[in-house]
Structure 1
Amino acid sequence: MNAYQRIANSNLTAAEIAGLCNAICLRPNGRTITSVELDSRQCGNGSLFFALKGEKTDGSAFLSDVDAKQAAAVVVSEEHVAKALSSFSGSVLVVKNVKESLHALAKSYAKRYGQVTNIGVTGSCGKSTTKEAIAKIASVLGPTAKTPGNLNSEYGLPLSMFALDGQTRYGVFEMGIDHVGEMDRMVDMLQPSIALVTNIGLSHVEKMGSPRIIAEQKARIFHTGLQAGFVSEACHYQQVLQKQARMPLIRYALSDIQARDLGLQGWEITYQGIQFRVRSVGRHLLEDVVGAIKVGQYLGADREQIATALEGFEPMDGRSFVHQSKVTIVDDSYNANPDSTTSILNYLSSLSWRGTKKVVLGPMKELGSLSPQAHRKVGMTLAATSFQKAYLYGREMEETARNLRRYGYRGHVVYTKDFEELEHVVHAQTREGDLFLLKASRSVAMERLIPSIRSATDRRRVHYA
């Protein structure tokens, strides 16, 4: 059972949970629910399994598997009641809509802990870093629950919320959306007291339609009843966000602090006369830290508490995380859009480096009709950088490869649509002293290259190209 699924702390039975999620409980028993699961493979003794219907599979197809793992109860739609009763021996909770039932349970569960100040974080990028930094500060003030990893969707948020308990004082949750209406459902569940928007970019524009619609939908995090709302001064859609908000938004910017660039070691920050170091690489991640500082200040943290909380802070894997060995790898593979890609390319280009700078770029997904233009823009940025070798992967990156020379890029270029070929070429050309940047959308899983790159120098001598 994962920490964020510790609903066992509430000692709820299936019959009691039915009253919290608009369900009818068939075959009630006295077993305590120990965890909430959406994946049948993760079920165990005491689990409550929500049989959600996905694009490719229906959770009701795995009820026998769940039963074999000794789950305590399942939540199924009305159409699957007979199947559930025949293939599952525990309690069966019947609902009209399984997803809505999950949301109702999370909402009811959170209301049990009215002492918690919940903080919602959204934006096109920077959510995870901002969330982690806020949680660090909040933890100095009191017991804090937070979104684990990237569980930030309308499925991940309710799972994250089950980390709340009677001791929790703060909850810090990511609220990531990729379609219209999703923020409204997430806000209804969490009803955050404090909300922060990092920025608005082109992520998910394919589903949303335009950056303005993205801004309007993310702005709905600033709901009625909010205590305070925060937004970065660098956000281009502040007016759209402010129009939705019911109170003046609190702005934050890099000018709120003094920062000395330490390169791949991060930043030395001076805040209200106190210095501390964070291991976030790039100005975009530094801005996320500033947002967390402003929220922490609002929560009542003093400068000493903020400095103590953030000393040595580093981002999660995939968010400009630095792997240092014989080869240095900046893993920024968790996500990619034109703004974040341009930012990290320019930052690392300005970095002094003795060895060879190499970049592996994969496609930026969900950009719709704007994709060709966006990938050409990345090519223009790359052409003006100091990266000496560029490895481009994926169908969308063909647009970048086609125009790179025309934009004046003089380095070595490899383009392929085959990941195995990419891995082979990168491995073969890796040398000690190299600096690699890995950047692509999450679905590409570009971090798969890391073991291959790191192992490439095992039997090679130092070589600075």
Structure 2
Amino acid sequence: MNADNSLLTLEEILDAVDGIRVLGGDSLHIASVQTDSRLVGKDTLFVPLAGEKQDGHLYVPQALEKGASAVFICMKNFEGDSGFFVSLHEKYPDVVFIAVKNTLEALQRAAAKYVEKFPRLIKIGVTGSSGKTTTKEILVSILSQKYRVVFNKGNFNSETGLPLSVFNIRAEHECGVFEMGMNRVNEIGEIASVLKPRFAVVTNIGTAHIGILGSREKIAEEKAKIFSYFGGFGTGVIPADDDFTGFLQEKIDGKTVLYGGDTASVKYVRSLGLKGTVFSIDGIETVLALPGVYNYRNALGAVALAQSLGLSAREIADGISALKPLSGRSEILEGKNYFIMQDCYNANPDSMEKALDFVSSIKKENGSRKILVLGDMLELGSESKAAHEKIGGLAAASDADFIVFVGTEIKAAFDSAQKNSDKKIFYAEGNSDGAMQKAACEIQNVLAGSSGSVVLLKGSRGMRLERISEILLGKGSADD
């Protein structure tokens, strides 16, 4: 095998992960890294992860059959069933088996070693309780006006997603923008140790995952770990008016840039409603094609970081105008006599409240109706009932003509709304296709005879509320 253009050499891997080559040759070639055996191709390093429900080591044979050239295996697994791996080695003698203490940790350490190969890369991390994916995408669009940019796709922002994403860095890349998410203690710390960003944007400190971490204070502590590798030379871009602005600023060992509202160079011009926001940079107007004040605030964070990197007003304005709405995130879909605001990639109390505020700000036209379709906000733990009850009250107090609640946790919101309003309200239990069909039928009835109406879909990713859009737009059937 030719190891010359391998992502990592065998020696680099063994050194980084403190591993032992237990089977296979003394060289390897790695063209990609995967944790899902279904995605393995020729010359892949396969990293089987052990979860609560299943052990990825069971899929090592499939990975080898698809062309994996190296495999991480837990030493515990190897010692417990060495015959299984020896038999695989006999069938695939060129594959290198590397035993490690923990395969997830090994993946992260190997990824960190790989990032070190690109000392000139401008490394940017983005985190926050909500808005981080949008902010990342805005940043990528802006920075692409000047740099060759690499970034994580979709929701590859976790303990496994970020390490896998950095293996997409190549020599031609000048800038890397990586979103960092978390749903447990020290997840940000772990993935920050992989990228070691020198620039970081924090969107906000909200209540996402509060059921796991317990308090906003704990969430702030975790998010601040994105600054851990500044070493006096980093730049932290943080909101000027967050409850935890002072706390975050204290954690930045380097330069602090505050954003939010008008500045000497950035000015709000006007709202275009569902079509976005007009603002200017040094007098150059641009249009952010994402609706809502909260998306505009995300853009301000991206603009502030771009300015810190020295991009011109023209480059920033062009990058903003070039941005395309993301699927499922503040995405505007047009029906026959209505618009759907599909914002169902994620939901927490903060982002739900912001979405409701935006819909309330939309002016009603003659014959138009506002319909709220709200799904479960997941991972809120003991805070779930109270958080859903609050959202139910806010929905009831809004100027919506019809409110649809879909899910299980959201039942508390439905009960709260019923107590506080005589609006037309509907509840579909669960997240089955049947529940979505029932909700869609009710929405279709309310939309009949209207024009210029707005339907908001907002819920956590696990709810898959986009199925309602598919039915409304004729891609599915409410009669199935």
Fold shared per TM-score above 0.5: yes
AA of the residue aligned to 2:355: I
In the alignment, structure 1 residue 438 sits paired with structure 2 residue 457: yes
In the alignment, structure 1 residue 245 sits paired with structure 2 residue 252: yes
Q: Is the 8 A contact 1:21 1:108 kept in 2?
A: no
**Cα shift readout 1:174-202 (whole Å, capped 9, x = no counterpart):** 11111112222112111100111100111
Q: CA deviation at 1:151?
A: 0.5
| Corresponding residue number in structure 2 for 1:260 | 270
Residue 11 to residue 428, structure 1, CA distance change in 2 (3 Å)? closer
| Corresponding residue number in structure 1 for 2:188 | 183
Q: CA deviation at 1:9?
A: 6.0
The more displaced of 241-250 and 115-124 is 241-250
Q: CA deviation at 1:63?
A: 1.2
Q: Is the 8 A contact 2:270 2:277 kept in 1?
A: yes
Residue 293 to residue 414, structure 1, CA distance change in 2 (3 Å)? same
AA of the residue aligned to 2:45: L
In the alignment, structure 1 residue 414 sits paired with structure 2 residue 427: yes
| Corresponding residue number in structure 2 for 1:300 | 310
In the alignment, structure 1 residue 373 sits paired with structure 2 residue 369: no
Residue 8 to residue 261, structure 1, CA distance change in 2 (3 Å)? farther
| Corresponding residue number in structure 1 for 2:51 | 54
AA of the residue aligned to 1:251: L
**Cα shift readout 1:211-240 (whole Å, capped 9, x = no counterpart):** 111011111212241511011123221122
Pairing 1:382-397 to 2, within 5 Å after superposition: 382-397=395-410
TM-score (norm 2): 0.89
Q: Of the candidates 91, 96, 100, which is equivalent to residue 91 of structure 1?
A: 96
Residue 11 to residue 364, structure 1, CA distance change in 2 (3 Å)? closer
Q: Of the candidates 301, 309, 334, which is equivalent to residue 345 of structure 2?
A: 334
* SS class of match (1:405): helix
Pairing 1:186-265 to 2, within 5 Å after superposition: 186-223=191-228, 224-225=230-231, 226-247=233-254, 249-256=256-263, 257-265=267-275
Q: Of the candidates 31, 34, 38, which is equivalent to residue 34 of structure 1?
A: 31
| Corresponding residue number in structure 2 for 1:4 | none
Q: Structure 1 CA distance, aligned partners of 2:355 and 2:424?
A: 18
Q: Is the 8 A contact 1:20 1:109 kept in 2?
A: no
* SS class of match (2:53): coil
* SS class of match (2:68): coil
Residue 404 to residue 43, structure 1, CA distance change in 2 (3 Å)? same
* SS class of match (2:405): strand
Q: Structure 2 CA distance, aligned partners of 1:438 and 1:124?
A: 19
**Cα shift readout 1:341-376 (whole Å, capped 9, x = no counterpart):** 111112112212443221211111121222122111
Q: Percent identity?
A: 33
| Corresponding residue number in structure 2 for 1:463 | none
AA of the residue aligned to 1:246: D
Q: CA deviation at 1:255?
A: 2.0
Q: Is the 8 A contact 1:31 1:72 kept in 2?
A: yes
Q: Is the 8 A contact 1:10 1:165 kept in 2?
A: no
Stretches of structure 1 lacking an aligned partner (at least 5 in a row): 1-6, 460-465
| Corresponding residue number in structure 2 for 1:64 | 61
* SS class of match (2:76): helix
**Cα shift readout 1:5-64 (whole Å, capped 9, x = no counterpart):** xx9964545565334433223312655212100011111121110011112111111111
* SS class of match (2:197): coil
| Corresponding residue number in structure 2 for 1:272 | 282
| Corresponding residue number in structure 1 for 2:118 | 113
Q: Is the 8 A contact 2:32 2:45 kept in 1?
A: yes
Q: Is the 8 A contact 1:314 1:321 kept in 2?
A: no
| Corresponding residue number in structure 2 for 1:77 | 74
AA of the residue aligned to 1:145: V
Q: CA deviation at 1:96?
A: 1.3
* SS class of match (2:286): strand
| Corresponding residue number in structure 1 for 2:470 | 451
The more displaced of 447-456 and 291-300 is 447-456
* SS class of match (1:249): strand
In the alignment, structure 1 residue 172 sits paired with structure 2 residue 169: no
The more displaced of 303-312 and 405-414 is 405-414
Residue 219 to residue 457, structure 1, CA distance change in 2 (3 Å)? closer
Q: Is the 8 A contact 2:49 2:57 kept in 1?
A: yes
| Corresponding residue number in structure 1 for 2:40 | 43
Q: Is the 8 A contact 1:183 1:217 kept in 2?
A: yes
Q: Is the 8 A contact 1:387 1:411 kept in 2?
A: no
The more displaced of 309-318 and 51-60 is 309-318
Q: CA deviation at 1:379?
A: 1.4
| Corresponding residue number in structure 2 for 1:462 | none
Residue 11 to residue 184, structure 1, CA distance change in 2 (3 Å)? closer
Q: Is the 8 A contact 1:15 1:28 kept in 2?
A: no
* SS class of match (2:333): strand
CA RMSD between the two structures = 2.2
Q: CA deviation at 1:86?
A: 1.9
**Cα shift readout 1:353-411 (whole Å, capped 9, x = no counterpart):** 44322121111112122212211111121112222111112221111111213223523
AA of the residue aligned to 2:86: L
Residue 418 to residue 91, structure 1, CA distance change in 2 (3 Å)? closer
Q: Structure 2 CA distance, aligned partners of 1:352 and 1:190?
A: 44
| Corresponding residue number in structure 2 for 1:3 | none
Q: Structure 1 CA distance, aligned partners of 2:209 and 2:395?
A: 23
In the alignment, structure 1 residue 157 sits paired with structure 2 residue 162: yes
Q: Structure 1 CA distance, aligned partners of 2:425 and 2:382?
A: 29
Residue 204 to residue 418, structure 1, CA distance change in 2 (3 Å)? closer
| Corresponding residue number in structure 2 for 1:128 | 133
Q: Structure 2 CA distance, aligned partners of 1:36 and 1:457?
A: 37
The more displaced of 178-187 and 204-213 is 178-187
Q: CA deviation at 1:417?
A: 3.1
Q: Structure 1 CA distance, aligned partners of 2:416 and 2:441?
A: 25
Q: Structure 2 CA distance, aligned partners of 1:41 and 1:180?
A: 29
